[in-house]
Amino acid sequence: MENVGQSHTRNKEYEQRFGREQLLQNLVKASEPIIFDIGAHRGESVSFLKRIFPSASIYSFEPDPDSYKELSSLNVDRVSYSNLAISDSDGTASFFRNKISHTNSLLKVNLKSKDSIGIAKATEENDIQYFDGFNEEVKVNTVRLDSFISSNPIDHIDLFKIDVQGAECQILNGAIQTLYKTRVIILEISFFDYYENQTTFMDIEQIISPLGFKLFSISEISNNPMNGRTDWSEVVYLNQNMINK
């Protein structure tokens, strides 16, 4: 509450000392870290991660064919690119493309969303054309991360970044064995009703807490100016079993 406690002062001090870059640098200790970039889009995360970990080996995965073309055209040292969706099964799956490419997902957009500012406004104004360009279905190849790791000489992951627009649990459920040897997870959790399925903290923690992960930081929050709820947050988990490794 306002004027109670010292959170305002502490947060100001925090912001002076820590940003996302400093936070990750403090947690990822390896001089040449191994990073998995799930949901790489057009390479924004590759650029960010290489800036703070220039000697990292990065494995980037992007299922959308158009985004993958841009991603794979990047000439970045020690980065490999795979046109795959990391999921909970090996094979193929439906992938849904949208007019805003960073919202593409293994999940359909909920066209009756009450939390999406654009959809809510279009519904109120009966703007039928607005809904064109959502949920274009394409087939993509999928692989469990456990399957990928077993086929490659990778014995640990220093940083596991997940940005998959609501499909977080699918990725984690296909990576159980890999998570035992993963130090840090940074992922975006969606709470709003933009997709047909919503993820909760409980969903995530029921998967990763038994494996030794504890929430370390809520590093970013996106709040909705229309209704006041939190749409999504970026969270960081640290594997307690690997703190000293």
Distance (Å, rounded) from C-alpha 30 to C-alpha 44?
22
User: What is the 8-class DSSP label of residue 196?
Assistant: S
Please tell me the pTM assigned to this model.
Answer: 0.93
**Cα(229)–Cα(222) distance, rounded to whole angstroms?**
9
Task: Kindly indicate the confidence band of residue 203, based on its pLDDT and cuts at 50, 70 and 90.
Answer: very high
Q: How far apart are CA 230 and CA 198, in angstroms?
A: 13
- Boundaries of domain holding 145: 18-242
Specify the CATH number for the domain of residue 126.
Answer: 3.40.50.150
Beta bridge partners of 186: 161, 236
Phi, psi of 230 (to 5 degrees): -90, 120
pLDDT digits (tens, 9 = 90+) for 89-102: 999 999 999 999 99
DSSP per residue, 147-182: HHHHTTT---EEEEEE--TT-HHHHHHT-HHHHTTE
Asked whether residue 13 is domain-assigned, the answer is no
pLDDT band at 67 (very low <50, low <70, confident <90, very high): very high
Residue 231, pLDDT > 70, answer yes
**Domain count along the chain:** 1
Q: What is the mean pLDDT of residues 57-83?
A: 96
- Strands 213-223 and 230-239 turn out to be antiparallel
Between CA 97 and CA 195 the distance in angstroms is 12
pLDDT at 3: 61
Domain for residue 2, yes or no?
no
SS3 call for 235:
strand
Position 199 scores a pLDDT of: 84
3 in a domain, yes or no? no
- Is 171 among the domain residues? yes
**pLDDT of 6 strictly over 90:** no
C-alpha angle 175-177-181 in degrees, rounded to nearest 5: 100
In a domain, 76, yes or no: yes
- Does residue 140 contact residue 91 with C-beta atoms inside 8 Å? no
Tens digit of pLDDT for each residue in 169-194?
999 999 999 999 999 999 999 889 99
Tell me the average pLDDT of the chain: 93
With respect to residue 6, please indicate whether it lies within any of the assigned structural domains. no
| Residue 58 counted as domain residue | yes
For residue 6, the 8-state DSSP code is S
